[in-house]
Amino acid sequence: MNSNKISCKEVMYHICDNLGEDLESPRCIEIKTHLENCENCQHFFQNIELTIQFYKKYNVDLPKDAHNRLIDFLGLNDCIDKK
């Protein structure tokens, strides 16, 4: 077993596993313990979570004219209910 204290750099490298992977490995438990006591890592973790949220919430709607051009492009005009 590795007795060296885990460093911020290691925490940062493995942080992806803290965001959606199996968290029960001994390494991940060690990382979580470190996170609880390291403000820098908490900020890094918060930054990464927000980065993901920003890109998740930035969505675009398909414009009606782009929909019409798609149906026209595929030759499916006669199959679409115009109501």
The answer to whether residue 23 forms part of the interface with other proteins (CB under 8 A) is: no
Contact (Cβ atoms closer than 8 angstroms) between residue 40 and residue 70:
no
Which lies closer to other proteins via its Cβ, residue 1 or residue 82?
A: 82
- In terms of Cα–Cα distance, which of 58, 9, 5, 55 is closest to 30? 5
Q: Which is nearer to other proteins, 32 or 69 (CB)?
A: 69
Interface residues with other proteins (CB under 8 A)?
Answer: 8-9, 12-13, 15-17, 19-21, 40-44, 46-48, 50-62, 66-67, 69-71, 73-74, 76, 78-80
